[in-house]
A and B are shown apart, each in its own frame.
Chain A
Amino acid sequence: MSLFSDDHGSSFYDFLVSRGQDLLRDAPQAGGHASASGPQSSSNVPAFPHGTTVLAIRFQDGVLIAGDRQATEGFQVSGRRIEKVFRTDAHSAVAIAGAAGPAIELARLFQVELEHYEKLEGDVLSCEGKANKLGQMVRGNLPMAFQGLVAIPLFAGYDLKRREGRIFKYDVTGGRYEETEYYATGSGGKDARDTMKQLYRRGLTEVQVLRIALEALYNAAEDDVGTGGPDLVRGIYPTVKFIAVDGLRDVEESQIAAACRTLIDERRERA
């Protein structure tokens, strides 16, 4: 019986790799890039993904994760309402920045990975376990990153053992770093982080943290061409999700719209 002669544990990702079907690693291998190592090839890897601002902030009940909705192709806007924040299971979400194709694929595969593990083992992965697995999957994308197709996730989850929200950021090599307060990535990440640095404090409420997230995204959209602001004409607003002990919850668009309008009215008065 050869059903399980190759053992890939409970990982769907490893199962795909063992079948040679890993879409992330199947990068077109141009001109010996894959074997190239050292400084000459590392210059091809952009230090951070272009376009997009996604962020995560911890608050008293857990963690908030949010992102803008704009996709760019060079100097053109290629999409105004794409989703960059994905629910990955009941207590975690991934926000993506970088080349849209591999990044969305990464998020989708990670969703299946978590569900697959849960079904096979009859138990959910720990928050730490999810973060580590995502790191391995980002590392799997390294050959593509060498060709400029960088896909970097931002992971937010609620740790049911520690009873707190947690944020993990990644680099292109799959390096995994935990952030204790907030983090933002993407081309507008710096602007968003600056805003959050000014406004963040411990023990924020849901209303306060939503306001900070929208303010940070607004500032990022003002100063970064790759980030889209709230679009009042078309009614497109950032995606925001809360993750707390009772699970992940999408913030209603009407609530986000109202908060955005308040924010813009206040800016108008100041101007």
Chain B
Amino acid sequence: MALPYYVSPEQMMADKAEYAKKGIAKGRSIVAMECADGVLLVADNPSASLHKISEMYDRIAFAGAGKYNEFEMLRKAGIRHADLKGYTYSREDVAAKSLANAYSQTIGSIFSADPKPLEVELLVVEVGQAEKPNELYRISFDGSIIDERGVAVIGGKSEALMTFLKSRWTSTSISLREALRLSVDALDTVTNQKLGAEVLEVAVLDRTRPGRTFRRIASGEARVLLNSP
């Protein structure tokens, strides 16, 4: 048996990172934004049935960018993790921090141990109860985890989006409509086209709702929000 060529760990990791980045760069982007009503999630997604944004638990939502089968598998594992925890202890014990950590561990160990890294970027967001602040976690393909404030972006054009939004997003007190318009403006800019409501997937973690706060905003409602003066 021939010995495999020696590849330095640095080179191996750099190659894997480049591979994963390339895969993610091909995909479309997702924006999460804090607003007065809670946390808004907007994805550039032409499919009406294959979702990128999903409910995870009472106050927690998930968004995945990159390879669909990979983030879909992670989404399901996360829902199981959350439901198991809520069933074993109590609904209030399910927290985004623990979920984000579990994702970080899983994705990180796959990145270092498996020959092919996951080509995904994830968002795990939690809307705060009463006066508590919201939590936005971004998890990268290598398992690194970033605690964002105000705005979080994943997917192909995330850097350009972040630059655009950083200067324009002002405070958590902006309304849902303003947040939606700002997110769509940002997505329009990086894609160089006018995105209609029918190619957007929009959902909100509504701070005021009791119990399960996740609510999808159908394209009809999104259109009204975008077009009303």
Q: Which A residues lie at the B interface, using CB under 8 A?
A: 1, 3-4, 12, 15-16, 108-109, 112, 115-116, 119-120, 122
The reply to whether A1 and B79 contact each other, CB–CB distance below 8 Å, is: no
Contact B76 A4 (CB under 8 A): yes
Given known pairs A15-B80, A109-B87, A112-B87, the reply for A4 and B73 (CB within 8 Å) is yes
List the A side residues contacting B76 at CB < 8 Å: 4, 120
Name B51-75 residues within 8 Å CB distance of A: 51, 54-56, 73
Q: List 21 A-B contacts (CB under 8 A).
A: A1-B114, A3-B73, A3-B77, A3-B106, A4-B76, A12-B80, A12-B84, A12-B87, A16-B84, A16-B87, A112-B83, A112-B86, A115-B83, A119-B54, A119-B56, A119-B79, A119-B83, A120-B76, A120-B79, A122-B49, A122-B54
Q: Min CB distance, B79 to chain A, in Å? A: 5
> Does B110 have its Cβ within 8 Å of any Cβ on chain A?
yes
Give residues in B with beta carbon < 8 Å to A.
49, 51, 54-56, 73, 76-77, 79-80, 83-84, 86-87, 106, 110, 114, 212
Distance between B212 CB and nearest chain A CB, rounded to angstroms: 8
Cα–Cα distance between A116 and B54 once the two chains are bound (Å) = 12
Instruction: Name the A residues within 8 Å of B54 (CB-CB).
Output: 119, 122
CA gap between A109 and B88 in the complex, in Å: 10
Note all chain B residues with C-beta closer than 8 A to A108. Answer: 87
How far is the CB of A104 from the nearest CB of chain B, in Å?
Answer: 13
Chain B residue with minimal CB distance to A113? B83
Contacts of B73 in A (CB 8 A): 3-4
From A8, which residue of chain B is reached at the shortest CB distance?
A: B80
For residue B88, which residue of chain A has the nearest CB?
A21
- Interface majority SS on A: helix, strand, loop or mixed? helix
CA distance A15 to B76 in the complex (A): 12
Q: Which residues of A contact B80 (CB under 8 A)?
A: 12, 15, 116
Query: Considering only CB atoms, which chain A residue lies closest to B72 in the complex?
Result: A120
Chain A residue numbers with a CB within 8 Å of B86 are 112
Known contacts: A119-B55, A122-B54. The answer to whether A12 contacts B83 by CB under 8 A is yes
Are B110 and A1 in touch, CB under 8 angstroms? yes
Further pairs besides A12-B83, A12-B87, A119-B83: 20, Cβ < 8 Å = A3-B73, A4-B76, A4-B77, A12-B80, A15-B80, A15-B84, A16-B84, A108-B87, A109-B87, A115-B83, A115-B212, A116-B80, A116-B83, A119-B55, A119-B56, A120-B76, A120-B79, A122-B49, A122-B51, A122-B54
Give the chain B neighbours of A122 by CB distance below 8 A: 49, 51, 54
Task: Name the CB-closest residue of B to A15.
Answer: B80
Q: How long is the Cα–Cα vector from A108 to B54 in the complex, in angstroms?
A: 23
A106 to B212 CA separation, bound complex (whole angstroms)? 21
Chain B residues with CB under 8 A of A119: 54-56, 79, 83
CA distance A108 to B87 in the complex (A): 8
Residue in chain A with minimal CB distance to B82: A119
Closest 7 CB pairs of A and B: A116-B83, A119-B79, A112-B87, A119-B55, A3-B77, A12-B83, A112-B83
Give every chain A residue within 8 A of B77 (Cβ-Cβ): 3-4
Residues of B within 8 A of A116 (CB): 79-80, 83
CB distance from A87 to the nearest CB of B (A): 10
| Most A CB within 10 A of own CB, among B73, B76, B87, B114 | B87
Residue of A with least CB distance to B76: A120
Give the complex CA separation of A191 and B110 in angstroms: 62
- Say how far B202's CB is from chain A's closest CB, in angstroms: 15
> Closest residue to B58 on the A side, CB-wise?
A115
Q: How far is the CA of A206 from the CA of B153 in the complex (A)?
A: 50
List, in ascending order, chain A residues with CB within 8 A of B110's CB. 1
B-chain residues with CB within 8 Å of residue A112 when the two chains form the complex: 83, 86-87
Q: Nearest-CB distance from A22 to chain B (Å)? A: 11
B55: chain A residues at CB < 8 Å are 119
